A and B are shown apart, each in its own frame.
Chain A
Amino acid sequence: MSSEWRAFLLGIIGVPAMLAGLLVAVYGAETEIILTKIWLRTPLLLSGSADFSSYSGGFAANIIISLWAMAIALAVGVVLGIGLIARGALVRVPSEILMNVLRNSPWLVVLYAMLYLLPFEVTVFGVTVFLSPMVKSIVGLALPVTANIAEVFRGGVEAIASGQWESARSLGYRRLQILRHIVVPQALPLMTPNLMTIYAMLFIGTSLVVVTGTSDVLSVARTVIGSDGDHIATAVYIIVLLLFFLFSFPIAILTRWLERRVRAR
């Protein structure tokens, strides 16, 4: 893991050092006062509550949203991916169109559209479910990611030698059975690094949910800036950048390591 270790150490030391340097460069002698102010607001930025009493807002909300959106996108993405490799054009062509539209649409627009497209509440079997902005943003983020996952799924399946299909066929397996028992188990290691990249992308994308009114880290940051004054804005955004970096960077390094291992085999 030598080259990844080097990159990891470089990034995990270099980036915080760079951000600290920026902070000092912007605030100069005031840095200490600003840092104490920020320190008081850190629990709010992390958990959405001033004393860690709940974890429904702030950075924790970003993590929750990303995990739910990834779970939904994985489930739907695999179905769409199966559609992409279907033999019948009746299934394949609509899947391809849907995939391309979703892949080429800006996340922000999809989020906005979901905000208005999804109803305020839905009634399923007599149970009324209230669709909070958080649920809407989860759906809005999951949609474009679905397309990426479907693409990765197709790529992974196509990377498996066609001889595997033919021999399974001669053993009497049907298409979906081949996919489930023979091709996907082999393709999964190939797909894992790409899926992790998609998750990292999705996590970075959760910053956009600020437009839906969810109390994610960015809207908390804006509230903090609103109450403590514009002067503090740079420092708050530096902290938010650092939080995102500390979460995503290890994933990126792990992805690179896995990728190299997959390629080496």
Chain B
Amino acid sequence: MSLDYSWLSDGLYQTWLLRGLGTTVLMSLLGIALMLVIGVAGALCLHFRLPVLETLITVLVEFFRNTPPLVQLFFLYFMLSEVGLKLTDPTSGRSVPLFSGFTCVVLSLGLYNGAIAVEIIRSGLLAVPSQTVEGARSLGYTRFQAFRYVELPIGFRLSMPAMTNNVVSLIKTSSQAALVAVPDIMYGATQISLETFRNLEVMLLIWILYVALASLAVVVLRRLGEALRIPGYGVQAS
């Protein structure tokens, strides 16, 4: 079996791949931001045992964690246009969904991995020594101030290793965006293989690109984790 990569010199294909890579990175970054917001907000509700929100968030977290992100994505994509979030395109008169595939993917990535992030941050918060929190409280911090300035910073750092896995999972999951026609790198790859019939070569290249992207994220997050680490906390302390 010989691999033919001559198609790679075609300028058009290079543009597709580069633009796709950009879309994938942008989508992942937005997804990570949303994931963090959801994770912190959800963990806060669970941590303070807010009456109704606690139950609601537990149900939502179980739902998002135990159903496939791909089905969630399709569901969002179809439901949002079904409930009438549509615009009428003035030029063609056709109705187009208000939320593009891109928005849906960012939403679904943020929700799925955010649900996992809620659990991760919560277990990080639980790992914060109670003496530290008590100390902050005795210094006159209110419950929320103690959360904001003591528990969250320490708990978040303690949850860094698990969060790294979650971010990698988010980047990997972003590849399914191609299935709702978002022009990400996977979409570019399928387009190229449709035109060149070099299916295997294209997929191998994409595979390498994704592994590189995920490995880069791992390296960056490890560095970040080391930079943020508080001496004396966490398992790596040796």
Interface positions of A (Cβ within 8 A of B): 7, 10-11, 14-15, 18, 22, 25-26, 100-101, 104-110, 112-113, 115-117, 200, 204-208, 210-211, 218, 230-231, 233-234, 237-238, 240-241, 244-245, 248-249, 252
Cβ < 8 Å to A, chain B residues 189-221: 199-200, 203-204, 206-207, 210-211, 214-215, 218
User: Residue B55 at the A interface, CB < 8 A?
Assistant: yes
User: Contact at A108–B175, with CB atoms within 8 Å?
Assistant: yes
User: Contact at A18–B215, with CB atoms within 8 Å?
Assistant: no
Of B58, B67, B179, the residue contacting A7 (CB under 8 A) is B58
Given contacts A113-B203, A113-B204, 8 further A-B contacts (CB under 8 A): A14-B58, A14-B59, A18-B60, A207-B70, A211-B179, A237-B74, A241-B72, A244-B71
Which residues on A sit within 8 Å (CB–CB) of B178?
A: 108
Which residues on A sit within 8 Å (CB–CB) of B79?
A: 22, 26, 233-234, 237
Q: How far is the CA of A119 from the CA of B211 in the complex (A)?
A: 24
A7 with B207, Cβ < 8 A, contacts A237-B74, A237-B79 known: no
Q: How far is the CA of A14 from the CA of B63 in the complex (A)?
A: 9
Q: How far is the CA of A210 from the CA of B176 in the complex (A)?
A: 11
User: Residue B78 at the A interface, CB < 8 A?
Assistant: yes
Q: How far is the CA of A18 from the CA of B65 in the complex (A)?
A: 15
A234 with B75, Cβ < 8 A, contacts A14-B59, A108-B175, A109-B175 known: yes
Report how many residues on chain B are interfacial, defined by Cβ distance under 8 Å: 41
A14 with B74, Cβ < 8 A, contacts A104-B214, A109-B186, A109-B207 known: no
A233 with B78, Cβ < 8 A, contacts A18-B59, A252-B62 known: yes
User: Within the complex, what minimum Cβ distance (angstroms) separates B211 from chain A?
Assistant: 5
Q: How far is the CA of A101 from the CA of B58 in the complex (A)?
A: 34
Which residues on A sit within 8 Å (CB–CB) of B68?
A: 204-208, 244
Q: What are 20 sample pairs from A and B whose C-beta atoms fall under 8 A apart?
A: A14-B55, A14-B63, A104-B168, A104-B218, A105-B207, A106-B171, A108-B186, A109-B175, A109-B203, A110-B207, A113-B207, A116-B199, A206-B68, A208-B68, A208-B70, A210-B70, A218-B71, A218-B74, A233-B82, A245-B66
